Structure 1
Amino acid sequence: MKNLIALMAVVLLFNACSKPPHVKKQNDFFTNLSSLCGQVFEGYSTFPTDPDHDFAGQLLVANIQSCEQHQIRIRFAVGHDQSRTWVISKSRQGLLLKHDHRHDDGTPDEITNYGGWANDQGTGWQQFFAADEATADMIPAAATNVWMLSYDPHNQVLTYDLKRHGKPRYQAQLKPAD
């Protein structure tokens, strides 16, 4: 009987200490993305195909420039506009993606620091970030936004994707710069 109680205690302790599978996948994603630190990727918008879209025909550059223990910063330039940085932070709550927008002088843009928490749908190379409450308050139309970041190590393609109301809104695909 004592052995059975001891075994049950060990099982309960193990279950209490184990992380849900999506937390491991988020940690794996963070580690995998960190392995790309220092790399620069270039590409173009793949959606929408509207030639009047602000990013249409603009060279896109993602520079994975800073990888710390709990934060990765990816500078995202659209043509000559280098005002955007994707910030992926790792905490006990999981992964958080924020979009940091700055003016040329470094001051924050009026609309900045929006994004959301990774959900449980991701993998070690792909994560989905659903808009958080602060984003919904700041940009009500973005309340249903889901951003996706992924990297395909076989084809060396970095993808940034945005869906709103479950429908495609924007996508960019980038490859290592020459």
Structure 2
Amino acid sequence: MRLNKMHLLVVGAAGALAACTPAEPNPQDVFFDKIAEHCGKAYEGEVTNGNPETDATWMNSRIVIEVRECTENRIRIPLHVGDNRSRTWIITKTQMGLELKHDHRLEDGSDDPMTMYGGTTVTLGTEDAQSFPADEDSKQLFTDLDATVSITNTWWMSFPDENTFRYRLSRPNREFHVDVDLSQEVEAPPAPWGWEDNFQY
């Protein structure tokens, strides 16, 4: 069957239009960038969903996060709970998706036995929310340290609204949320344990 010139023009124009149409942004890149926009800033948070018995320390302490270090592919966010400066969230772009790891240190800066656990996204998520099911290395760590209840952990990071950043831990019979108020900056606490001595990943 021969195609007439008009048909060829229509097909060619449609192809050119498709080539000029910008690709939809990757929601993980948008999410990553939304966090990076806060680099160098610190904010106060509070437990908004937790267990008064097991989460009492968190509920009764001042919680501050600091988006302390941002590169093209990695963001590090120290999490301070009262005087405890042992925790840092590490969000990394990988070929598999976004990865969340929990870097835990002892007061001398060395690794806590329970450290660098987390997971990698298994879906694209959205521009406002990403989930991180526990990966195999973390499940093995939990098994080795007799914390098998955590094998089914999924961690979430999200922006429920423009002024809130939420960290969520979820598993059967366990819900824990920390909501961070992004509307008002606070003074950053001292550096997390280990940063002073360059115990950095």
Report what 2:189 is aligned to. none
Match in the other structure for 1:157: 164
Q: How many percent of aligned residue pairs carry the same amino acid?
A: 32
Q: What pairs with 1:27-106 in structure 2 (closer than 5 Å)?
A: 27-50=29-52, 53=55, 54-106=57-109
Asked whether the equivalents of residues 93 and 99 of structure 2 are also in contact (C-alpha less than 8 Å), the reply is yes
Does the residue aligned with 1:143 lie in a helix, a strand or coil? helix
Counterpart secondary structure, 1:123: coil
CA contact 1:100–1:113 (8 Å) conserved in 2: yes
* Code of the aligned partner of 2:110: T
State the Cα distance separating 1:125 from its structure 2 match.
Answer: 2.0
Larger proportion of strand: 1
Unaligned residue ranges in structure 2 (runs of 5+): 4-10, 16-22, 143-147, 187-201
The answer for the alignment partner of 2:19 in structure 1 is none
Partner of 2:136: 133
Q: Distance in 1 between matches of 2:85 and 2:70?
A: 19
- Normalised TM-score (structure 2): 0.72
CA RMSD, 1 decimal: 2.5
Work out the number of aligned pairs and report it.
161
Q: Counterpart of 2:26 in 1: which secondary structure? A: helix
Shift of 1:153: 5.2
| Counterpart residue type for residue 47 of structure 1 | N
Distance 1:92 1:121, change over 3 A: closer
Q: 1:175 aligns with which of 171, 178, 181?
A: 181
CA distance in 1, matches of 2:47, 2:124: 24
Structure 1 residues 49 and 136 mapped into 2: Cα distance closer, same or farther (>3 Å)? closer
Equivalent in the alignment of 2:145: none
5+ unaligned residues in a row in structure 1: which ranges?
12-18
Q: Residues 41 and 158 of structure 1 are in contact (CA less than 8 Å); yes or no, is this contact kept in structure 2?
A: no
